[in-house]
Structure 1
Amino acid sequence: MLAPLGPGGSGRYLPVLWDLERDRAVRARRQPVPPEAVLLVAGALLQGIGLPFDVVVHLRVAPAARRRRTPAHQAWALPAFDRYDDEVDPAGLADAVVLADHPDRPALVLGDRFS
């Protein structure tokens, strides 16, 4: 998915993969990436697996805040996030970290690359 947009890639992408209303795959034609385009990839647990990102911003939520804000029916996932923090250290790998324990009062911490 990332290779066509990276160095030496075709510069073409699929604008949509899935039709949510029909719950099925979409047959779309590849389109050229506009000049100066930026690809934002959002997702949990993505660092440390070798994805070739130019800039990484990590949204950090401390374990205690994670436990307070996670609904009971999703609490089963909390150990994975704790292990990810311990083994991967995503805040240490990121170019910038947003401290998001309090969503109404985020704090930005820039890494050496931007300070």
Structure 2
Amino acid sequence: MQWEAITWQRMAERLAGHLDDPGNAPGPDGRQRVGIDGAPAADTGTLAGRLAEELRLRGRSVLVVPTAGFLRPASLRFEFGRQDVDAYLDGWYDTAALWREVFGPSDPGGTGRVLPDLWDPVTDRATRSPYVELPAGGVLLVHGPLLLGRWFPFDLSVHVRLSAGALARRTEESERWTGAAFARYEAEVDPASVADVVVRADDPRHPAWTGIRGN
């Protein structure tokens, strides 16, 4: 894998240009869907925010959806304990709700009424957020962990990669048990081979990337 040094801002500009290219633009009733995958320590929200800003400067409607808003209730997440790796991989995030409330409405010909979040993990209650209208031609940015290998219909996918050491350093001590889950994710899903773009972010001040595959 060949790496090119790049800034986060330049990366956002390059990704926005790719999405805005007429050859990649959606049809008249279509929307583009982008997944930015990475462990919580990889801070996928930063790239999502920069990309959203860059797309809006180009006149695009953008909706950013963090998967943290689609965690399942604590009673389900912690059914087998608070540090169960299997549960974290397959039971913490409500993928059915993401399909129903986010991906389905953003399909070509879909209603465009997307629910930006469903569950507040702090209060462990439904957020009751209103639906947001994403018009045809808009861009949906979904970011968070464990997004790849689930058949989500991304038009462009980005994997923000951390080495095991960087992941441990940048993860709060109480959450370091999740490192075993991300090691399994790397082994079983191999997100670096699935994603259209891979970003190396061990030092967040000096990221490097592969560029956009096939571009």
Gaps of 5+ in 1: none
Q: 2:128 maps to which residue?
A: 26
C-alpha spacing 1:95/1:73, structure 2 compared with 1 (3 Å): same
- Correspondence 1:64-75 to 2 at 5 A: 64-75=165-176
The Cα shift of 1:79 comes to 0.1
The Cα shift of 1:86 comes to 0.8
**Counterpart contact for 2:116–2:129, Cα < 8 Å:** no
> Structure 2 counterpart of 1:53, which letter?
F
The Cα shift of 1:25 comes to 3.6
> Structure 2 counterpart of 1:112, which letter?
R
- Correspondence 1:1-80 to 2 at 5 A: 1=101, 2-14=103-115, 17=118, 24-26=126-128, 28=130, 30-80=131-181
**Counterpart contact for 2:112–2:133, Cα < 8 Å:** yes
Task: Indicate the SS of the match to 1:6.
Answer: coil
Q: 1:83-111 CA deviation, whole Å, 9 max, x = no partner?
A: 00111010111111111100010112124
Q: 1:33-81 CA deviation, whole Å, 9 max, x = no partner?
A: 2343110001101100111111001100011211222222111111000
**Taking structure 2 as the reference length, what is the TM-score of the superposition?**
0.46
Structure 1 counterpart of 2:192, from 77, 88, 91: 91
Aligned residues: 112
